[in-house]
Chains A and B, each alone.
Chain A
Amino acid sequence: MRVKLDNFKCTGCRTCEMICSMVQFRENNPKKAALRVQGKFPAPGEYKVRFCTQCGKCAEVCPVGAIEEKNGIYKINPQKCTGCWTCVQACPEEAIFIHKDSPVPIKCTWCRACMDICPRRVIRLKD
């Protein structure tokens, strides 16, 4: 856990999703982002960010060893991935996503573009 999520500060603007898709996929499509902002409305009127904490649970469950760790960051190797989505179901943060264009699940690669742009500093490094 190197990140601190201040969910109470989140306003649901989804700029993080936008920048994630632009940086990671070079596409203008927040549906291809490695994090999600989820609103609970009308009650209790709160947002929650589903964000990868690099806990490594996905690597543990991957049946083909497609999720590889390097310097504490877990990345999916698309060559090895078979698209079984076991990791999607196992993720405790529900932070691995699927998109119909992509056979490989979408997972955070720790580029930290979201931390830079978030207007409310909801996602930040723990220090």
Chain B
Amino acid sequence: MRSLAADSFRFCTIGGALLVTFLLVAAIAALFLVPDISDVRANLLSAEMRYSLKLSLMTGILSTLLVMLFAMPIGYALSRFDFPFKGLVKTILDLPIAFPELVLGLCLLLLFGSTFVGSLFKALGLQFVFTKQGIVVAQFFTALPYASRILKSTFDYIDPKLEFVSRSLGYSIWETFRNVSLPLAKNGILAATVISFARCIGTFGTVLILAGGTYMKTEVLPMTLYLNISYGNMGMALTSGIVLTVVSFVAIYFFERAEVGL
């Protein structure tokens, strides 16, 4: 009886995993099988797709760099140091993961549109509402919590005693970070970079609200998909879907190899 219960439990869990995997594979396969390959090639070479791809890559790379620049110290601080309101800071930094993208976009629109923060950036020559810079800001806030969480768990896995020993051997905290923590966090940094890039490239709602979805102006790949599906241009929509999927695949591949969980 006991064995039967164990077998049925095993069957249910594995069965559930296989069912969802099959549905996902079928959905992704449909994206690649439905469109005509010559159409895809033509769409990839179209001016709109080239603009969208170029803008996505440029904003994606810039946002990822900014995300990593901030996520590294955030992840390290959350992992290593105790400071007042640490729990609250961690919760707020993680908030965008649970927030609907559209709401996050709305919040950013209000912050940069009608508060002193927006005016401050404007005075510095940075205008984020309905601009390309806005795309970077939207992508940054969407991807940052993922990167900081990955980096926090990466630093959690690095034994602080290694850093202690390094300090005892005469290395400053900065030298220790460079010689010990950074090389050991290599896989986590790679994973955080790839996931951030994928999140930046794929972000739609936040970008739409803050930067707008203007044809050939703030048109990134998800916007191309959205705009073309609105016009009924399935070929372009599917092509942008394929490009986004390829980016996601590459990201997940690196993420799995780095063996770092969220």
The judgment on whether A and B are partners is no
Query: Which residues in B have some Cβ–Cβ distance to A below 8 Å?
Result: none
